[in-house]
A and B are shown apart, each in its own frame.
Chain A
Amino acid sequence: MKLQRSNRTLQNAMLTLSMAFSSFAMAQAPAAPPAAAIPPTWAQGRTAEQAALNLVPHPPGITALPAGDIPTDKLKVPAGFKVELWATGMPNARSMTQSPKGTLFVGTRFPGNVYAVVEKDGKREVKTIAKGLHRPNGVVFKDGALYVAELSRIIRYDNIEANLDNPPAPVVVFDALPKDEPHGWKFMKLSPDGNYLYFQIGTPANIVVQPVTHATIVRLNLKTNILETVAHGVRNSVGMDFHPVTKELWFTNNARDWVNDDLPNDTLHRVTRKGMNFGYPFCHQGDLLDPEFGKGRSCDEFDKPVLKIGPHVAALGMRFYTGKQFPAEYTNNIFIAEHGSWNRTKKSGFEVVRVVLDNKGNVTKKEVFVSGWLQGDDFWGRPADVHVMKDGSMLVSDAVAGAIFRISHSK
């Protein structure tokens, strides 16, 4: 053991030495250009031709549109359904969760706020219950407490509903998480048995061979505070839910940027056993080897998605429909909020889609459920998450309009 260690030390020393020599050599060579820095995450993996397209990420949502300026009438739903503006004034409203008493909690990525929407005396009121958090995107409600997933830690606000106007200081639940900004914000979901918090640790770049800790879905055991890896090779999942019957975990995944306008697809996944590997960075969408990292690999090494959702659509929040209000054929369907593309010459996404499964869990249909955020090539809002209410209606959060819409059905 000791010998091995000193051996390794020696190796390290030699490595350092040789590195020092090579950098010395580089410094001596006048013709060698200085090493380039790392491009911003979003620009990574882009070809020169793609760079010429001037496609850059959309400005983040940091304000809320005034209620009167939100064009709710532009949103289209199938016959029999109705859309209404449900709550406004929440800059960057993203992930949603609801308490048994009905308080809706909403996380954000950019402003660092967490909101609570309460109904009081027949009126709906939005309260900002936390400010200045670091990318508090994930929200879970359990036993009277609100759990918030920040970029690198999970915190908890106890007895929150009795203290919405003066929330207690949060308790830190778990903070041994990576601090990388790229794909560091988290979607969080409570397991059906209430014992685990599931969330993702996204890859720290667009396309890179990630550390083993990253590009995973993990779960935190709330009794032991031990973190376990559930799935590998998941670039960045910002939406997950448990099947209402089988209790299996399903999740959406954001595939790598660039490649081309039509590849790769964002995907929908089903976790049938622990430790599955869905291929990132080597294989995307189950059948596309990465142009760079896929060399010498095969997609057969990896587990497959159940559905290709669409290229660059940014498939974020997803839920199974467990309500009774929508027609019977909607029972246990999956709804996915597509945040909308940026690295694509023709925009895609900016919709909520419906995915129908047969009773074995195979996808039989995917169709648009809500559209209209995209008008021509301009968008006025970006859906981020969906949530099924107790009355069977569905909420859709919009991170650019800073608002929440409600979709209901009447016979």
Chain B
Amino acid sequence: MLTRVSKAIQGMAFFLILLSGIPASAAPDAVAGKDKAQLCAACHGEKGVATIPGMPHLAAQPQLSIFYQLVQFRDQRRKGGGMEAIASTLSEQDMRDIAAHYAAQPAPAPQAGGDAAKIVRGQQIAQQQYCSSCHGAQLQGQKHVPRLSGQSTEYFVAQLRNLRSGARADMDGTMASAARSLTDEEIEAMAVYARSLP
């Protein structure tokens, strides 16, 4: 048991080293990204907190998750919000830099004062659905998997519905299979829960 625990600690350490030391071929440059993100700010906000309802917050998203979505928009494997056209004008270095800029911004303020019963219900469903397996314990995202905490509820609901219907294709089928059985009410509860998380 003891060796197992120490192995677990070792494993954690390895994981942390990995997170801190991913060798990027062309290192993402958040400062350059700030300039390049001027076009994005109109909808997503200068610091990645959108003021237009339904627009996703990008602040504190994992750098890789923003980059992956931009690549998918560019390749027309994800569509919406005119993002395909915008992404097609960006180089991959632009995408990495913009992603780094938003990843470095403070997370959107949580809205914990919402419907308490809905938050509890959302948390319960999120647990049943194993959301934290990929999105992290606080739904903060990791690697290429997006942050859900603090996200716009309108955006959250629209994306899960699109994943459920197949209108939005996911990377490997995991989200389509997770969303398949969800009702509108369950999706909304999870959105309210996610929005309440710091």
- On whether the beta carbons of A345 and B11 are closer than 8 Å, the reply is yes
> How far is B172's CA from A142's CA once the two chains are assembled, in angstroms?
30
The reply to whether B174 and A345 contact each other, CB–CB distance below 8 Å, is: no
Find chain A residues with CB under 8 A from B77 CB: 111-112, 132
Q: Is A54 an interface residue (CB 8 A)?
A: yes
B124 touches A110 (CB 8 A): no
Is A209 at the interface (CB under 8 A from chain B)? no
- Tell which of A34, A38, A56, A378 touches B134, judged by Cβ atoms closer than 8 Å: A56
- Other-chain contact of A377, B5, B18, B128, B130 (Cβ < 8 Å): B18
| Residues of chain A with a CB closer than 8 A to B143's CB | 56, 58-59
Main secondary structure of the interface of A (DSSP, over half): loop
User: Which listed residue, A38, A63, A181, A345, touches B7 by the CB 8 Å rule?
Assistant: A345
Query: Are B21 and A37 neighbours in the complex by a CB distance under 8 Å?
Result: no
In the complex, which residues of chain B have a beta carbon less than 8 angstroms from the beta carbon of A111? 75, 77
Assess whether B31 is interfacial by the CB under 8 Å rule. no
Neighbouring B residues of A377 by C-beta, 8 Å: 14, 17-18, 21
The reply to whether A181 and B71 contact each other, CB–CB distance below 8 Å, is no
Among A39-47, A245-253, A318-326, which stretch is in contact with chain B? A39-47
- Nearest CB on A from B68, distance (A): 6
B176 to chain A, nearest CB (A): 7
- Per-position contact with A for B1-38: 1 when CB-CB < 8 Å, else 0? 00011011011101101100111011000000000000
With A and B bound together, what is the CA distance between A358 and B40 in angstroms? 62
Contact A39-B133, Cβ < 8 Å, known A49-B4, A65-B25, A345-B7: yes
Contacts of B116 in A (CB 8 A): none
Contact partners of A53 in chain B: CB under 8 A: 8, 11-12, 15
User: Quick one: which of B171-197 are within 8 Å of A by CB?
Assistant: 171-174, 176-178, 181
Which residues on A sit within 8 Å (CB–CB) of B159?
none
A375 at interface by CB-CB < 8 Å: yes
Let me know if B75 and A110 touch, CB within 8 A: no
Q: Which residues of chain A come closer than 8 Å to B111, judged between CB atoms? A: none
In the assembled complex, the CB of B8 is this many whole angstroms from the nearest CB of chain A, namely 6
In the complex the two chains form, is A40's CB within 8 Å of B75's CB?
A: no
Chain B min CB distance to A93 (Å): 15
Bound CA–CA A246/B51 (angstroms): 68
> In the complex the two chains form, what is the Cα distance from A345 to B172 in whole Å?
24
- Compute how far the CA of A39 lies from the CA of B8 in the bound complex, rounded to whole angstroms: 22
Distance between Cα atoms of A34 and B177 in the complex (Å): 19
Chain A residues numbered 123-173 whose CB sits less than 8 Å from any CB in chain B: 131-132
Contacts of A184 in B (CB 8 A): 173
Q: A52-B8, A59-B144 are in contact. Are A181 and B173 (CB under 8 A)?
A: yes
1/0 contact string of B60-89 vs chain A (CB within 8 Å): 000010001001100111000000000000
Residues of B within 8 Å of A110, CB to CB, are 171-172
Inter-chain CA distance A112–B128, complex, in Å, is: 32
What chain B residues lie within 8 Å of A345 (beta carbons)? 7-8, 10-11, 14
Q: Find B26's partner among A43, A55, A66, A346 (CB 8 Å cutoff).
A: A66
Render B117-134 as a binary contact track against A, CB cut-off 8 A, 1 for contact: 000000010011110011
Asked if B8 contacts A181 (CB within 8 A), the reply is no
* Residue among B129, B143, B177 with max Cβ neighbours from chain A (10 Å): B177
Bound CA span A110–B72, Å: 10
Instruction: Tell me the complex Cα distance, A349–B84, Å.
Output: 37
The answer to whether the Cβ of A300 comes within 8 Å of any Cβ in the partner chain is: no
A261 within 8 A of partner (CB)? yes
Query: Do A49 and B64 touch across chains, with their CB atoms under 8 A apart?
Result: no
State the Cβ distance, A224 to closest chain B Cβ, in Å.
31
Complex Cα distance, B26 from A111, in Å, reads: 21
Bound complex: CA of A53 vs CA of B9, how far in Å? 8
Whether B4 contacts A37 by the Cβ 8 Å rule is no
* Contact B25 A49, beta carbon cutoff 8 Å: no
* Chain B hits for A37, CB < 8 A: 128-130, 178, 181
- Kindly provide the distance from the CB of B185 to the nearest chain A CB, expressed in whole angstroms: 13
Per a CB cutoff under 8 Å, which of B12, B18, B21, B128 touches A36? B128
Nearest chain A residue, comparing its CB with the CB of B130 = A39
Does B176 lie within 8 Å of A55, measured CB to CB?
A: no
Cross-interface CB contact of B92 among A40, A51, A63, cutoff 8 Å = A63
A58 to B173: give the CA distance in the assembly, Å. 15
With known contacts A69-B25, A345-B11, A378-B18, A62–B68 Cβ distance under 8 A: yes
A69 touching B11 in the complex, CB below 8 Å, given contacts A39-B130, A59-B68, A181-B173: no
Q: List 16 additional contacts besides A181-B177, A182-B173; criterion CB under 8 Å.
A: A36-B128, A36-B130, A37-B128, A40-B133, A54-B12, A56-B133, A58-B143, A59-B68, A63-B92, A66-B25, A70-B25, A110-B171, A111-B75, A181-B174, A346-B14, A378-B23
18 A-B residue pairs with CB within 8 Å: A36-B127, A37-B128, A40-B133, A43-B133, A49-B5, A52-B8, A53-B8, A53-B12, A54-B11, A58-B143, A59-B143, A60-B144, A62-B171, A69-B25, A69-B26, A132-B76, A181-B173, A376-B17
